[in-house]
Amino acid sequence: MKEQNSHNDKDVFLAKWLAGEFSDDTLKILVSETEYHSFLKIRKGIDTYEALDTSTDDSFNKIQEHITKSKQQEIGKVIPLNTNRWLLSIAASIVVLFGLFFILGDDIVTIETNYGEQRTIVLLEGSEVILNSKSTLTYDKDNWENNRELSLEGEGYFKVKKGSTFTVVTDNGNVQVLGTQFNVNSTTDLFEVVCFEGKVSVSTKAENYTLLPTNTVRRINGFEVEQWETRDTNPSWIEGESTFKSVPLKYVITSLEAQYNITIEAKDINRELVYTGSFTHKNLNTALKTVFNSLQIRYSEKEKGNIYLSTK
């Protein structure tokens, strides 16, 4: 173009420049440095102004594609983890809730189940937690999908959707998965994790373990770490029955109390007796019978909700 005739173009050069007929270098000659930068910014602003005005249909199409695709691909891997509230330094690294440490204050969610209560919690991205009786689950809603951490006290069965690392934090150790099914049981002196599907990593103060399906890891304070293969496909408590494998009686008692909202006086019996068996959630008498008859322990209801144990 006639860039030499800038004198003739003095009232049109900006239009020519914007249309691309004049180069940026040409503009630089025609205006001051400050004006030059201003016009560059204005041009970018105008381009953006136009772009922000264009239709958002393309994005909508992509959104629809994604939704259709994910409907077809939904995979739920659930690893039941049994973590008793024991401070077992469970070998399996179970990444359980980290929620407490990331709570920013407003978006913390705490769910607490009552005696005999089981609750299913659906998390923001679709993962599920089934919380057993007298258990507490805490997590931070804010930023959940990128930071899937929760705190667990008690017992929970986790069905984790594929996504960012899912971590369950307990007093006994952490459980970490990428989309699996596991059960975590963590009470004061017991920590048990069972992997039902997928891969679970459990870390405690002492060790790290990686669990594959059916791997179970448990540590009861004062005892060696135990590892075995479960034959279940999901934890029994979900289906109304609590199962124990060589567990000191005191923990079975705690479970009975949590399930039925009773207190059990056990000072006159040996609470370290090892129990293998289960009890039903549906009937207290049946449950008491199952547990204590096998151990030859007498039980009597001194007053409503208070059971007294003695030896025969």
Partner 1 sequence: MSKDQQNICQEKTFESVYKQYAKDIRRFLFYKTQDLDKAEDILQETFIKLWDNCGKVKYESVKSYLHTIATNTFLNMIKHDKVVRKHQESLVNHKDNESPEFIMLEKEFMVKLEHTIDSLPEKQKEVFLLNRIEKKKYKEIAEQLGISVKAVEKRMHLALVVIREKIGNI
Q: Is 53 in the site for partner 1 (CB under 8 A)?
A: yes
- What element of type H or E holds 43? helix 33-51
**Alpha helix ranges (H) inside 216-274:** 249-260
Given 5, 6, 15, 120, the residue binding partner 1 (CB under 8 A): 15
List the beta bridge partners of residue 278. 243
117 or 125, CB closer to partner 1? 125
Per-residue contact flags (x/-) with partner 1 for residues 125 to 164, judged by CB under 8 A: xx---------------xx-xx------------------
Residue 122 CB, shortest distance to partner 1, in Å, is 8
For partner 1, how many residues bind (rule: CB under 8 A)?
40
Q: Are strands 241-248 and 263-265 parallel, antiparallel or unpaired?
A: unpaired
Tokens representing 25?
Answer: 């270098």
Q: How many other C-beta atoms can be found within 10 angstroms of the C-beta atom of residue 72?
A: 6
Establish if 74 lies at the interface with partner 1 (CB under 8 A): no
- Position among 1, 29, 63, 104 found at the interface with partner 1 (CB under 8 A): 63
| Options 16-24, 80-88, 205-213, 232-240: segment touching partner 1 (CB under 8 A) | 16-24
Q: Does 101 bind partner 1 (CB under 8 A)?
A: no
Residue 41 interacting with partner 1 (CB under 8 A): yes
Where in 85-207 does DSSP place strands (E)? 108-112, 119-122, 128-131, 136-140, 148-161, 166-169, 174-177, 181-186, 190-197, 200-203
Find where tokens 């124990």 sit.
244
Task: Compute the distance between CA of residue 292 and CA of residue 3 in angstroms, rounded to an integer.
Answer: 102
| Residue 39 interacts with partner 1 (CB under 8 A): yes or no | yes
User: Least distance in Å: CB of 51 to partner 1?
Assistant: 5
32 is a contact residue toward partner 1 (CB under 8 A): no
CA dihedral 57, 61, 67, 72 (to 10 degrees): 170
As given in the structure block, the two tokens for residue 224 are 């060696």
3-class secondary structure, 130:
strand
- Binding characters for partner 1, 105-124, by CB under 8 A (x = yes): -------------------x
Write out the two tokens for 255: 């479970």
Asked whether position 73 contacts partner 1 by CB under 8 A, the answer is: no
Q: Both tokens of residue 171?
A: 């007093």
Residue 209, interface with partner 1 (CB under 8 A)?
no
Return the range that interacts with partner 1 (CB under 8 A); candidates 60-68, 181-189, 221-229, 232-240.
Answer: 60-68
Single out the residue of 1, 46, 104, 206 in contact with partner 1 (rule: CB under 8 A).
46
Distance CA 226, CA 86 (A): 14
Q: Which residues bind partner 1 (CB under 8 A)?
A: 11-16, 18-19, 34-35, 37-42, 44-46, 48-53, 56, 58-60, 62-63, 66-67, 124-126, 142-143, 145-146
